[in-house]
A and B are shown apart, each in its own frame.
Chain A
């Protein structure tokens, strides 16, 4: 029965310049199953779409082929068009005669012939197309957020205010992340922990948010809308119900940690109260350094008035069911062992940006006065070095860490405010201060605070007579420079948080070669991981500063809220199905499936399909030795018919 309509698009001259569209329409009309074929200048335009609708009604078409550009561009457009006049959208197919024909050929005669072959093949496909409707699955309206830094906190609050439950998992003893360790934020010089603490309190008080600190993801199963996650909560050895945060135990602990170590704020002893500013302070013990586990010290247990210390506590595993996940695991800094030429790790007065934050932070031990770590002197000359490890493919990482230009200007400014008679030198490759008010901030710091910016790199840092000697080059003056500094601050590269690769494996999401989690599309889908239902927020995906992290997190949260706004999730119905009579449950498909969508059904003895996980890649179809697995609307029969048509048409 003749019921197929073929619509041939000129795409201006993109197609019509190389393919003789008029002749093509005439010849295609002659095909057996084609009722009509027509060409038009822009099929995707309103008049073009109206033409399709009119012809469907007028000619009583029940299958439609649009010969135009790639299906990734307008398949959805045209499927919506045919659906609006009552046709099943899966009865509309695209014959790609632009990317696969007109754009890559020059000879009009041959290109026209090839376009005809492409259309002939698609006719064979559409003849056997079934009418399909989207697969619907229920969704658990509960989100898991991994990482309780500024990104995780904002995502949690946004989702909770939309009315959905949130489980916020944090590896450290308290939420807050790196932002809680900063002194003041750039542009407005606001106290960073103060800014954040109101948000931390909001999260802690929100009835829909459950916070699991000292916790990490053990295992993830399931799929979008229906994830099952195992979370391990590490023992804190302090009964969190009994502890009232009095801090007596901290005073008694014999293990002290130097303030400049890379620990979280407030961690000064083996038993400590993280981020003292937040509410609900509870003490926790770090098993790695606590002397109970090596020497049997029980000083804190003896001192605790509430009898809250319990060295017998063990790790706990809990299971949570969630519908969606946001990964907000943040960043860490480039390892200092790799920076031998800067003596980082060998000289006490060579520190990184986070250590400098602590040095000037109200939470640092030295209360607004800047004193250098080695001997407590006020540093009169401070050298700041940008791009340490960043933009350095030989030695470090090739990418720009993005936030350093701004925070170095802030650091130098804060230093000058604390030590007005001191001098700050900044070595830079170039200043990348893109952002609202950013360049003005840097310019202001140079002009008002008298910072000395030197364009060039530092080759070597060494100690001499209590000074830190910095050798560098001023590439604008074309001269070598030697500065005898009291303190050197390295703006080290931002790298993914420790354990990011392991987490990527557990969640089965991809990451780039440095370990930053990959988004689906760099421009248009920046918060989605390639796995449906898992989203990315903040520095886990790429280096970014606080406002960008917050925007990114809110973007991820709105994707989650969008997902939760419907009771059922729709899934593309182009998935595989199994002929149960042919399947022998050999399990080859289970092995080849990259999405864990195939599973052996022990009772039926077949390899079943979890449709909601199937992405229609076809790997199991080609692997199946019995041809028991077939893909909807792309069956083996359809494919062979398409090949036959393409090679036999004259």
Chain B
């Protein structure tokens, strides 16, 4: 299986461990990820809130490259995934936008590729049974709070891959690798997003709520797919020491990949004590 791969700025910077673990896991699963040549920023956070056309043209440029190559596009970052899906939707629905984009970047929208987040890639393309067959070390006893964040499932009409209020797809993947997804109410709560730079008081209170709820529900760790959520949850948790990991890092642990030590040690909150106490390392 060959897919185009859009890492986005985060996976080349603050979320390197996400990039590494995604590549390692995909290699193990026989999925070849080919990074898009000359990809640019998707414009998430600041671009799309300031300029209506920049909002489309930035992701559209990446879409243009991906359409030319022709493979479906895998996007691990929830924010990039959201921007690309929104842009694709606008291009599909609006004649006027198509024309504008054609004028700006000479892109003839073909609608010939799918945009996939990692849950979609794993559940719908690779299949849960394949995942199960690759598990060497089931994450037995690990209670996981699946945190989807706000961007992955909303707006529901455009993202359209799971229930926007009570998503379950990540929980299913967790169950397959032997972990125990806990039932909690903050799966899609906002982490504060880019307010971490301007109003960290707000972010701290939001992150505090999320971590408190996960802890009360009995979780050992929180699992996420979004680098921005990771950053806020990992760095800005007030008075907690609650480990946060990416989906792919847990998969790598379950597959017992030796590269694991290269990335799970990169977090601010050290996940090793919890994992050691459950004998998962």
Contacts and interface: CB of A to CB of B under 8 A. Distances in A.
Interface of A: 340-341, 343, 346, 460, 462-465
3 closest A-B pairs by CB:
A340-B165, A462-B185, A341-B165
Nearest to A461: B185
A340 B185 CA distance: 11
B166 interface: yes
Contacts of A343: 185
B164 A464 contact: no
B166 A346 contact: yes
10 contacts: A340-B163, A340-B164, A340-B165, A343-B185, A346-B166, A462-B213, A463-B185, A464-B185, A464-B213, A465-B216
A340 B168 CA distance: 12
B179 to A, nearest CB: 22
A340 B187 CA distance: 12
Interface centre among B163, B165, B166, B216 (most CB of A within 10 A): B165
B246 interface: no
Contact of B166 (A340, A463, A464): A340
Contact of B186 (A340, A346, A462, A465): A462
Give the dominant DSSP class at B's interface.
loop
Nearest to A345: B166
B77 to A, nearest CB: 25
Interface residues of B, number: 9
Contacts of B189: 460
B17 to A, nearest CB: 30
A484 to B, nearest CB: 13
Interface centre among B163, B166, B186 (most CB of A within 10 A): B166
Nearest to B183: A346
Contacts of A341: 165
A460 B186 CA distance: 10
B149 to A, nearest CB: 15
Contacts of B185: 343, 460, 462-464
Interface in B189-230: 189, 213, 216
A75 B216 CA distance: 76
Give the dominant DSSP class at A's interface.
mixed
Contacts of B165: 340-341
Interface string B148-165: 000000000000000111
Nearest to B184: A462
A498 to B, nearest CB: 23
A463 B164 CA distance: 18
Nearest to A465: B216
Contacts of A465: 216
Contacts of B186: 462
B68 to A, nearest CB: 36
Contacts of A463: 185
Interface centre among B163, B166, B185, B186 (most CB of A within 10 A): B185
A343 B189 CA distance: 14
Contacts of B163: 340
A343 B165 CA distance: 9
A465 B163 CA distance: 25
Contacts of B164: 340
B145 to A, nearest CB: 13
Contacts of A464: 185, 213, 216
Nearest to A339: B165
A460 B185 CA distance: 9
A463 B189 CA distance: 14
A101 to B, nearest CB: 39
Contacts of A340: 163-166
A298 B28 CA distance: 58
A463 B163 CA distance: 19
Given A340-B164, A340-B165, A464-B185, 14 more contacts: A340-B163, A340-B166, A341-B165, A343-B185, A346-B166, A460-B185, A460-B189, A462-B185, A462-B186, A462-B213, A463-B185, A464-B213, A464-B216, A465-B216
A335 B189 CA distance: 24
Contacts of A460: 185, 189
Contacts of B216: 464-465
B195 to A, nearest CB: 15
A462 B210 CA distance: 12
A341 B150 CA distance: 13
A352 to B, nearest CB: 17
A464 B216 CA distance: 8
A468 to B, nearest CB: 10
A463 B216 CA distance: 11
Contacts of B213: 462, 464
A536 to B, nearest CB: 34
Interface in B127-183: 163-166
A137 to B, nearest CB: 51
A341 B164 CA distance: 9
A346 B183 CA distance: 11
A346 B216 CA distance: 18
B178 to A, nearest CB: 25
Nearest to A347: B185
A464 B186 CA distance: 11
A626 to B, nearest CB: 46
Nearest to B212: A464
Nearest to A341: B165
A460 B164 CA distance: 13
B136 to A, nearest CB: 35
A464 B212 CA distance: 10
A462 B213 CA distance: 10
A460 B206 CA distance: 14
A464 B217 CA distance: 9
A617 to B, nearest CB: 37
B204 to A, nearest CB: 16
Contacts of A462: 185-186, 213
A485 to B, nearest CB: 14
A645 B189 CA distance: 73
A249 B185 CA distance: 43
B189 to A, nearest CB: 8
A463 B185 CA distance: 7
B229 to A, nearest CB: 17
A36 B200 CA distance: 90
A462 B188 CA distance: 12
B73 to A, nearest CB: 28
